[in-house]
Amino acid sequence: MTSPLSPIRLSQFGLISVTGPDATTFLQAQLTNSVTANRAVRAGWCTAKGRLIATLLVMPWGEGFLLQLSADLAERVAKRLRMFVLRAKVKVEDVSDDWQQWGLPVGDPGLATPPDVLGVDSSAAGLVVRLDERRLLFVQPAALAAAEAEDSAAGIAAWTLDDIRSGLPTVTAATTELFIPQMLNLERLGAVDFKKGCYPGQEVVARTQYRGELKRRMVHAALAGDAQPVPAAGQAVYGDAFPGQEAGNVVNVARGGTDWEMLVVAPVPAAGQDEAVRIAPGGAVLSITRARIEA
């Protein structure tokens, strides 16, 4: 992976705040993973049919939590979450405009680095989360951020490429409600707790884990940079076993050198190259890395 050498403003992500005395119990009843006040966790929020509405990084903050998700879903998810509040003492808000999110390398001299992956360090200046062995997330109140801070398309693309190579999917508006958690390897990423209480879609997720046979799963794939059509999140892919029939979808994509690199939900046998997966019917074949499905 290519760790950034300077801070990257991560404007591709939004933030939802969930605060109040019942914030923990509220999220416990909604998300695929158990939340904690001591560290960040990855999780998903599903429909009753087990389809992922969003993928989330849940971070403890103040009297509740900040939920990082795709920016194009923040307002929609906040509104939908509020429908489940009922009598709970909890407040759900889209606070994307109140914060700036930055990606930095581990060891940045300006930030305290939590020793463990998904460890957190919070102060009046903001919240630091150690995402992995190489990268930090710094969530900073917008009022404290530099006024001249601007987005960098190249920086965002590099960060997205790191996520893709790490096998970390982000559900966006183009892919919301397309996948169940196991299709995106969320259980292998520690984002599903099979021992927790009920949440929307739990029955489907549990049945898939213990009784079902998963026919599609997320893999890492590459495609020549001049291939057509240009890959995009949500775009269908096609297997040779059933020509012209959709076999899966692109999850996330970024330019990696001269090629496109992407996370793709594809038929499970395709990971062993038993079946070619194409970007279009009769089009270019994706080069799939088997190791990504087993990680």
Is the same domain home to 141 and 233?
no
Domain boundary among 131, 166, 201: 166
CATH of the domain at 237: 2.40.30.160
Residues 34 and 139 in one domain: yes
Residue 87 shares a structural domain with residue 201: no
* Residue that has been written with the tokens 């297997």 in this structure: 239
Is there a single domain that holds both residue 160 and residue 187? no
Q: What's the average model confidence in pLDDT over 102-117?
A: 91
- Residue 197, domain member (yes or no): yes
Q: Cα–Cα distances in Å, from 274 out to 19, 50, 77, 179, 248?
A: 49, 29, 38, 23, 16
In a domain, 171, yes or no: no
| Structural domain span for residue 200 | 181-294
Same domain, 134 and 23: yes
Q: What is the pLDDT of residue 144?
A: 84
pTM above 0.85, yes or no: yes
Q: Are residues 123 and 228 in the same domain?
A: no
Q: How far is C-alpha 122 from the chain's CA centre?
A: 22
User: Residue 28 pLDDT > 90, yes or no?
Assistant: yes
Residues whose CB falls within 8 Å of the CB of residue 261, separated by 6 or more in sequence, listed in order = 161, 164, 165, 220, 221, 222, 253, 254, 255
Give the Cα separation of 262 and 123 in Å (integer). 36
Q: Which of 222, 214, 219, 212 is nearest to 266 (CA)?
A: 219
pLDDT at site 146: 67
pLDDT digits (tens, 9 = 90+) for 196-237: 989 999 999 999 999 877 889 999 999 999 999 999 999 999
Give the mean pLDDT of the chain: 91
> What's the pLDDT at 295?
39
- Is residue 173 in a domain? no
Q: Is residue 2 part of a domain?
A: no
Q: Which of 35-39, 270-274, 287-291 comes out lowest in average pLDDT?
A: 270-274
Q: Which of 166, 191, 218 is the last residue of a domain?
A: 166
- Look at residue 210 and give its three-state secondary structure: helix
Which H, E and C letters describe 126-170, residue by residue? EEEEECCCCEEEEEEEHHHCCCCCCCCHHHHHHHHHHHHHHCCCC
**Residue at 222 is within a domain:** yes
* Number of independent structural domains in the chain: 2
Q: For CA atoms 73, 77, 78, 79, give the dihedral sign.
A: positive
Tell me: do 161 and 138 sit in the same domain.
yes
- Considering the domain architecture, whether residues 158 and 188 belong to the same structural domain is answered as no
Whole-number Å distance between alpha carbons of 129 and 116? 9
CB 135 within 8 A of CB 103: yes
Q: Where are the beta strands (DSSP E) in the chain?
A: 8-9, 13-19, 41-46, 52-61, 64-70, 91-94, 99-105, 120-123, 126-130, 135-141, 216-224, 236-239, 246-256, 259-267, 277-278, 287-289
Q: Which residue, chain included where needed, has tokens 């050198």?
A: 257
Residue in 49, 9, 52 with CA at minimum distance from that of residue 183: 52
